[in-house]
Structure 1
Amino acid sequence: MKVCIFLDGLDEYKGDHELIANFFHETTKSAPNIKICVLSWPLLGFGGIVAGLPCLRFQDLSFQDIKFYVNENLSKHREFRQLLENEPIQATLLVKDIVNRANGVFLWVRLVVKSLREGLGNYDHLADLQDRLDELPRYLEQLYEHTLGLAHKIYKPHAYRIFQIVRAAKKQGTIIRHKEGEYGPLTTIALSFAAEETTSIYGNPLIRNLDPAYIKERCERIEGVLKTWCAGLLKVQTPYNTMHKHWKRRVQCLHRTARDYLESPQVVLL
């Protein structure tokens, strides 16, 4: 029998990275019929073990895709099309600069393009867009901190409250189990009520079904809040075949790295 194993996110392993990398390496050496393909962020613990083995760097393969993404999303904006017409060389160099800085990280590119599109909406010149790019951190955690710092100060207490609710919901999910599996995910309608500072069952003891239009309104509002108050660090996922069922949309972190950032010791959630 010949076996091929694919492992994604080996960097998320909580134990000794060098030990587990060495285990996989020794396994393939002792069993020629077993091949293992591992995907991971570059870590020092893997360096000496994988040296000389077949290897691909994702950023070398995704360059053209990222370039296409940046061009496609910026070119959709009327102001950038105007800049391309008036200053084609400088506008092209800006796109090239973004792609070169991305280092293969699509999420970083997505956040940067979002910032630049906001600048285009403010009628920024190319020099202003370049300044925006230059001030954005090169690493995701620093970029999250920077992005959250840009949120208006009056929104921050509300954002921290939502972050705490999302964290509590996740913790609850690891403790409470249903027969079918884990505790249900946090939905937009649940978050809309949980995030209300004035929510109380004492003033309105009447239990009734919620009007679908009312549910839709609440869900759309909380989705907008996540984009503004929470600086885009949380997102709404719509499960398959539930496009029009607003109450089934789930609230999640933008990315695993965003989750790790919000749960890290250096982030103080009030």
Structure 2
Amino acid sequence: MRSLGESSEAWNSATERRLDAMAKDLQNLLHSNAKSEEACAEKFGSFAVTLSKFADEATNRGTIRTILTTLNFSQIKARQNEIPKAHQNTFEWIFNESLEGNLSKWLHPCSDGVFWITGKPGSGKSTLMKLLSGDQRTLLLAKSWVGPKPLVVASHFFWNAGKPLQKSQEGLLRTLLFQILVQCPEVIPEVCSERYANPLQDIEPWGVEELSRAFSRIQQIQELPCRVLMLVDGLDEYSGDVKELTTFLHAVAKSSEIRVCCASRAWPEFSKAFGSGTWKVQVHQLTKADIRSYIEDHLGQHDAFAKLHSKDESSTKAFMETIAEKAEGVLFWVFLVIKSILRGLDNLDDIGTLRRRLDELPSDLNAFFERMMDSIENVYKQEAHTAFLLLLCAKAPLPVDVLLALDQLDRRNKKGIPGLFDAGLFNEALAPYLNIPNFDAKSLADRTTNEGLQKQDQIVARCRDLIQLSRAVKTSRAYAGPHIGFIHRTVVDFLEERGALKRLESLLPHSPRLLLAAAYTLLLGSLQRIDEENSKVPNDPFEIILRIFYQIQEATTEEVAADGVLFCRLTRTIDKREMVLLRGGLSEREAEQLLSLCANLEAKLISGCEFLD
């Protein structure tokens, strides 16, 4: 239901802007000095057409809102929100008009083609794209191209470690279409003509072919009511055919109404597609001043470094310059190094000790990560490795409450309760929805309130800076509250390339996917109490159930066979109308989606379980 609210909120904001624009247009018409009655009539006629379209939208508000809602999805901004903001006064060069291949010239009315941002892993490409998507200077640079029309900045950030919609063509098209159409709803009757003419079609999911057709219609509109700046980040994280993706971006960029800026690593296929063009920047070649600024700001704020600087300014300056030179344009490497240096300053290291500390740090990111993994204390390794493995399996940041739920499961097992998925856990999870006795739902809610802060600090400290703490966006369907996630995409690459998933799996007593599903199942039964205790935005049971089902779907038949009895019970129980509707919490569309998921998974569960009761 929240996706419906988000779509309505975005549309309402766009409607207010359009009403303001129409009011200004009308005022200008009333005060215009048209030289002839014919010219005056033409202007009023054009305004009447605009007003008529607006009235038609109001009449069909429900249909338009439904179309927008079906395009929206819970992770539509998740990756973008996870990317850190640019450090103060960094990446300013992108707005510099003297820069070769600069953004300002590319946004000139006479320019065309794709603007390609590339660079080394960890150089800050995604951070730069996030800056461009939200900085007012982007709008100012585009002013000469945009003219009197509004500018729609439509952005998509691919995420290979995320859910399917975060790395696929379907996710790209749905994200871009939603952002464009919510700002320019007057084109929906033309772009989504079949769904607009037949509202019953809205119950059908969007397919890639239909999405592609809708986007093509946007490209074919001769006079769009807006100009569109498309920002597509992480092309190297796309899961489909790269050639098709680059061809699509080039085709879109041919429209005079749309500009395309994309970012990726310098893979051969992207260099071939965009490297010969005029409009490109290599981020790692332009960030030396940014790196110096970051180093000076973070070290300069530490009292111990300030004292060292006052005693020997030349040595501290040389030390900071050594860091900047050794970075070779990789901002993320600097981020990790500064964390280590700050720990040394906390220990009152002198400048000589700081130099030795820096010399010991590898300049290669993978070697750096290996060192960080090795530095995890033995007593913490099981917990840290479990966190890494669960994050790799979840393909999304995990609520800290899930880790608390896993702790509770561990205590249950130590008390001798047989099986990971027993009847007690099952009853706890479903009691709030099925009116059956609730054995211990309050326990997790109490622990979430009392131990959440302690747990999040523990897990971040024990994982040696490889993960970070974040908070879910309150307007999304995501679980509210603090989350943990990998600190950078390069960490995911490192763990996957070294076969960490299989190696770490061997250290766990159960499949990590089943552990996750069990933790989410326990969390499901505590949602209401957690919300009441913490006064949070109400959490979404539907979202939690989808996460449970996702883990079941990803698990192998052998994994389900080991501990799958509860899943059989859970899906059979959810496959009831009263459970699906969750006491009015779900729309009919969501109910149908959940029923379909149940049907698809039941065969897998039955084949995996040795018996059903």
Rg larger in structure = 2
TM-score, L = length of structure 1: 0.78
Is the counterpart of residue 191 in structure 1 residue 191 in structure 2?
no
Q: 1:155, 1:3 → 2: CA distance?
A: 49
Residue 115 of structure 1 deviates from its aligned partner by: 0.3
Paired letter, 1:59? H
SS at match of 1:137: coil
AA of the residue aligned to 1:43: W
- Cross-structure match for 1:68: 293
Instruction: Give yes or no for contact 1:59–1:104 (8 Å, CA) kept in 2.
Output: yes
- Give the corresponding residue for 1:39: 263
Q: What is the SS of the residue equivalent to 1:65? A: helix
Percent identity between the aligned chains? 27
Q: For residues 189-226 of structure 1, give each alpha carbon's deviation from its aligned partner in whole angstroms, at most 9, with x where no partner exists.
A: 22123146732176797424259774344212221222
Which amino acid is 1:27 matched to? Answer: A
Q: 1:132 aligns with which of 331, 334, 357?
A: 357
Whether the 8 Å CA contact 1:151–1:228 is kept in 2: the answer is no
- Relative to structure 1, is the Cα distance of residues 24 and 91 closer, same or farther in structure 2, using a 3 angstrom cutoff? farther
Q: 2:312 aligned with 1:83, yes or no?
A: no
Aligned partner of residue 199 in structure 1, secondary structure: helix
- Structure 1 pair 249–117 and aligned structure 2 pair: CA distance change class (3 A): same
What does residue 384 of structure 2 align with?
Answer: 159
1:65 is displaced (CA, Å) by: 2.7
Q: Residues 186 and 32 from structure 1, CA distance in 2 versus in 1: closer, same or farther, beyond 3 angstroms?
A: closer
Q: Secondary structure at the match of 2:491?
A: helix
Please say if residues 83 and 91 of structure 1, whose CA atoms lie closer than 8 Å, have aligned partners that are also in contact: yes
1:107 aligns with 2:329: no
> Structure 1 residues 225, 89: CA separation in 2 closer, same or farther (over 3 Å shift)?
same
Change (3 A) 1:6 1:241: closer
User: Which of 93, 98, 102 does residue 318 from structure 2 map onto?
Assistant: 93
Question: CA 1:88 to 1:186, structure 2 compared with 1: closer, same or farther past 3 Å?
Answer: same
1:142 matched residue in structure 2: 367
- Give 1:237's aligned residue: 470
Aligned-partner Cα distance in 1 for 2:406–2:300: 39
| Residues 194-203 or 154-163, more deviating | 194-203
The answer on 1:223 being equivalent to 2:456 is yes
Flag the 1:13–1:240 CA change in 2: closer, same or farther, 3 A.
Answer: closer
Distance change in 2, residues 1:94/1:216 (3 Å):
farther
Task: For residue 135 of structure 1, report the CA deviation from its aligned partner.
Answer: 2.1
State whether structure 2 residue 412 is matched by structure 1 residue 200: yes
Return the match for 2:346 from 103, 121, 126.
121
Offset at residue 234 of structure 1 (A): 1.7
Distance in 1 (CA, whole Å) between partners of 2:461 and 2:279 is 44
Inter-partner Cα distance in structure 2 for 1:58 and 1:77: 29
Whether contact under 8 Å (2:299, 2:305) holds in the other structure is: yes
Residues in 2 aligned to 1:60 and 1:264: alpha-carbon distance in whole angstroms? 27
User: Which stretches in structure 1 are left out of the alignment for 5+ residues?
Assistant: 174-184
Q: Which residue of 2 aligns with 1:23?
A: 247
- Deviation of 1:247 after TM superposition, in Å, equals 6.9
Q: Partners in 2 of 1:118 and 1:73 — Cα distance?
A: 12
Query: What is the alpha-carbon distance in structure 2 between the residues aligned to residue 5 and residue 211 of structure 1?
Result: 44
1:178 alignment counterpart? none
- Displacement of 1:238: 1.7
In the alignment, what sits opposite 1:263? 496
| 2-structure distance, mates of 1:28, 1:103 | 34
**Offset at residue 94 of structure 1 (A):** 1.4
The SS at the match of 2:463 is coil
CA contact (8 A) 1:188 1:247 kept: no
Name the SS of the counterpart of 1:162 in structure 2: helix
Offset, 1:165: 2.8
| Compared CA separation, residues 20 and 90, structure 1 to 2 (3 A) | farther
Letter in 1 for 2:344: G
Deviations along 1:109-156, one digit per CA (max 9) or x if unpaired, are 211100001111222222221222222222333222221211212221
Counterpart for residue 484 of structure 2: 251
Supply the distance in 1 between the matched residues of 2:485 and 2:246 (Cα, whole angstroms): 34
TM-score (norm: length of structure 2): 0.37
Unaligned runs of 5+ in 2: 1-221, 418-423, 425-438, 508-613
| Distance 1:94-1:15 versus aligned 2 partners, 3 A rule | farther
Amino acid paired to 1:110: F
Distance 2:252 2:375 in 1: 49
Aligned partner letter, 1:167: L
Instruction: Name the stretch that deviates more: 6-15 or 80-89.
Output: 6-15
Which residue identity lines up with residue 404 of structure 2 in the other structure? S
In structure 1, what is the equivalent of residue 29 of structure 2?
none
| SS of match in other structure, 1:128 | helix
* Separation of aligned partners in 2, 1:26 and 1:220: 48
Structure number with the higher helix fraction is 2
Question: How many residues are paired up?
Answer: 252
> Which has the higher mean CA deviation after the structures are superposed, 19-28 or 40-49?
19-28
Indicate if the aligned counterparts of 1:189 and 1:218 stay in contact, CA closer than 8 A. Answer: no
Deviations 1:74-94 (A, max 9, x none): 122221111111121121111
**3-state secondary structure, aligned to 2:442:** coil
Q: Is the 8 A contact 1:136 1:143 kept in 2?
A: yes
Letter in 1 for 2:269: G
| Farther-moved stretch of structure 1 (201-210 vs 35-44) | 201-210
Between the aligned partners of 1:197 and 1:26, the Cα distance in structure 2 is 52
Distance 2:445 2:389 in 1: 28
| 1:161-184 alpha-carbon deviations (Å, 9 max, x no partner) | 2222333434xx8xxxxxxxxxxx
